[in-house]
Structure 1
Amino acid sequence: SENLKVAAVLRGGYENADVEALTKRGIKLINAPWRSAHAVADFTVGMMIAENKNIARSHMLIHDGKWCKNYVNQEYIHDMRACTVGIIGFGYIGRQVVKRLSGFGSKVIIYDPFMDPKVIEEAGCTPVTFEELLAQSDFVTVHIRLSEKTTKFIGEKEFSQMKSTAYLINTARAGIVDTDALINALQTKSIGGAAIDVFDEEPLPSDSPFLKLDNITLTSHLAGTSCDTMRNSVEIGFDDIKQYLQGLQMQNVRN
């Protein structure tokens, strides 16, 4: 239609739209980039608590007929308010994780390799260097995109810089973390534990070394799952179209 001014793709990406044709005709394209951000943020904090408090492990052991009161991390099970959480990536999801942690009283520090630290400060958070985040955090949680620049972003060197009692949480993409280095760090107890939702090969192979570890929580790529995601998409699209009709700047415009 010659009257078409705005097209909306109610998904995180915009692969379903012909961006080139829309751009050529001056038609604005909007999408819903943070539609699953709340789901992933909820899940991330849940993974922190599950690993620190041995929730999944206890459940599994009870199924095996074992009533366990003493775990491998017994000496460093802490209240969340006593913990420092290091968030890598200050995008939609990272910001939602910050919001949730405020209720726990955790100290939160942020490193984003692609963002000016001033933006983090303006949002009321504490920007740190990558080295500071690794050294200070009791939880290191990853919320950056997988790209050539971020492949194996966390590897042997980074694990060696973390506390021996720290937990790595990955609800982002498997490729951001060097899997072999993570397995080695957990086997040698050079870090305290991990909670992982994403894997190089899915489903996880039955011979995966992850399955022999007692300091990891594993889930089957569930972080973004929520019945509310589609409703969020419609809400995001509706809000932007309302902005457009009022002559205001749209938040999620792609071209």
Structure 2
Amino acid sequence: MAKFRVVTPAGASFTVAGGGYALESEALTPLGAEIVEAPTDEAGFIAAAKNADAIYAKGIRMSKQIIDSLENCKVITLGSVGVDSVDVKAATVRGIPVTNIPDTFIEEVADHAMALLLAGFRRVVVQDRMARDGRWAEGRPALLKIPRLAGQTLGFISFGRVARAVARRAAPFGLRMVAYDPFIEETLLSEYGVLPATLSEVLSQSDFVSMHAPARPEVHQMLGEQHFRQMKPSAIFINTGRGTTVDEEAMIKALQEGWIAHAALDVLYKEPPSHNNPLLSMDNVTLSAHVASASARFDEARKRRVGYELSLVLSGLWPMSCVNPSVLQNTNLRRWQPIGLDRGPNS
């Protein structure tokens, strides 16, 4: 019989090929922990997870009802950056740490954000269609209306890990950079060659507005009609964060009426979008299907990190990435410091 029981919804995963939990189990098996799949409906999951030692949350909404039903849970672990699928407040009240993976695929998302910036700016999708449709002569005149990239302003809304990685990529292109993030010290911004700005300044000054705010209640539909009206008519809006941070109807109106020139989006308010979403048929929109974090490394690195986070807490140690760290002060978990690949955490 396993010493620890980790419960996870059945069949819900980002796995590209294959399945199973071999990668997560690399850190869990030595502890005598096993991952057990449970039904994905709320009632079935509650019944299966009631006595779980830990929850590997994927493909299910971890509601207050589910969290309140957990009698022995030591940690809820996510294999993603976003934690909007978990009622973190309910978990905090119950004293359950919630962990995520905020740093495993930062480089991929930053690459994708930069790709969307360049594709939107140089109208790559439209240029591709012109070349394929025999409209060869239309390509050059269309781009003659677009200024040189160097000297343009890139504005960040939120300046977390991804935005910082984008800033490193953008600097060699000669972009001036500004950022709005009331939770970041100005000295950190200056390390990346980025100037601090208010939200209004970012919107009104930027030729590119890159949205990086996380999916949290306080930033739900953070950008609305009044914000898109502040942007330049030539501006390009980029979103590799979360679709719910934007009032999508207002953004569509901005694109249709020319308040902004283009949107380059990896995320939408509803995913996948309905077939009649206007964004799908607009020439001034570049889309990808919430794939910014994907790479050959993505799945293995994510799943190993999940296993490691679970193993730390089940071993009585603090996790690496806790989104509600206040709960750790009231647990018996011990602090640790990484001291080398050959030894692992030290209490």
Which of the five TM-score ranges fits, normalised by the shorter chain?
0.7 to 0.9
Give the partner amino acid of 1:69: G
Q: Match of 1:244?
A: none
> Is residue 2:247 matched to residue 1:178?
yes
1:78 to partner: Cα distance: 2.7
| Among 264, 267, 274, the residue aligned to 1:195 | 264
Report which structure shows greater RCO (CA 8 Å, sep ≥6). 1
* Distance change >3 Å, CA 202–CA 251, structure 1 → 2: closer
Q: Match of 2:123?
A: 54
Q: Which moved more, 1:222-231 or 1:38-47?
A: 222-231
Q: Match of 1:228?
A: 297
Say whether the 8 Å CA contact 1:10–1:234 is kept in structure 2: no
CA–CA separation in structure 2 for the residues paired with 1:222 and 1:85: 22
1:198 to partner: Cα distance: 1.3
> Is residue 2:180 matched to residue 1:111?
yes
The alignment yields a C-alpha RMSD, in angstroms, of 3.5
Say whether the 8 Å CA contact 2:80–2:101 is kept in structure 1: yes
Q: Which has the larger radius of gyration?
A: 2
Say whether the 8 Å CA contact 2:131–2:139 is kept in structure 1: no
CA–CA separation in structure 1 for the residues paired with 2:227 and 2:144: 24
CA–CA separation in structure 1 for the residues paired with 2:80 and 2:164: 17
Say whether the 8 Å CA contact 1:52–1:77 is kept in structure 2: no
1:232 to partner: Cα distance: 4.6
Give the partner amino acid of 1:187: Q
* Distance change >3 Å, CA 162–CA 236, structure 1 → 2: same
Say whether the 8 Å CA contact 1:109–1:133 is kept in structure 2: yes
What are the residue-to-residue correspondences of 1:144-223 with 2, within 5 Å? 144-223=213-292
Say whether the 8 Å CA contact 2:168–2:192 is kept in structure 1: no
Once the two structures are superposed, residues 144-169 of structure 1 have per-residue CA deviations (whole angstroms, 9 ceiling, x without a partner) of: 10222111111111111111111000
Question: Tell me, which stretches of 5 or more residues in structure 2 are unaligned?
Answer: 4-30, 32-74, 310-317, 329-347
Give the partner amino acid of 1:104: F
1:8 to partner: Cα distance: 11
1:203 to partner: Cα distance: 2.5
| Among 136, 139, 149, the residue aligned to 1:69 | 139
Say whether the 8 Å CA contact 2:205–2:231 is kept in structure 1: yes
* Distance change >3 Å, CA 107–CA 124, structure 1 → 2: closer
Once the two structures are superposed, residues 23-60 of structure 1 have per-residue CA deviations (whole angstroms, 9 ceiling, x without a partner) of: 78xxx997531112111100000001101111112223
| Among 148, 155, 172, the residue aligned to 1:78 | 148
SS in 2 for 1:207: coil
Give the partner amino acid of 2:146: Y
* Distance change >3 Å, CA 9–CA 211, structure 1 → 2: closer
Q: Match of 2:80?
A: 12
* Distance change >3 Å, CA 237–CA 99, structure 1 → 2: farther
Say whether the 8 Å CA contact 2:79–2:101 is kept in structure 1: yes
How many matched pairs? 240
Say whether the 8 Å CA contact 1:194–1:216 is kept in structure 2: yes
Percent identity between the aligned chains? 30
Say whether the 8 Å CA contact 1:12–1:34 is kept in structure 2: no
Give the partner amino acid of 1:11: G
Say whether the 8 Å CA contact 1:48–1:195 is kept in structure 2: yes
> Is residue 2:169 matched to residue 1:97?
no
1:72 to partner: Cα distance: 6.0
Q: Match of 2:101?
A: 32
Say whether the 8 Å CA contact 1:174–1:199 is kept in structure 2: yes
Question: Tell me, which stretches of 5 or more residues in structure 1 are unaligned?
Answer: 241-248
CA–CA separation in structure 2 for the residues paired with 1:145 and 1:111: 14
CA–CA separation in structure 2 for the residues paired with 1:143 and 1:187: 23
* Distance change >3 Å, CA 180–CA 30, structure 1 → 2: closer
Say whether the 8 Å CA contact 2:164–2:192 is kept in structure 1: no
1:111 to partner: Cα distance: 0.8
SS in 2 for 1:34: coil
CA–CA separation in structure 2 for the residues paired with 1:31 and 1:130: 28
CA–CA separation in structure 2 for the residues paired with 1:71 and 1:215: 16
Give the partner amino acid of 2:259: S
Q: Match of 1:139?
A: 208
Say whether the 8 Å CA contact 2:176–2:194 is kept in structure 1: no
CA–CA separation in structure 1 for the residues paired with 2:78 and 2:217: 27
Say whether the 8 Å CA contact 1:35–1:230 is kept in structure 2: no
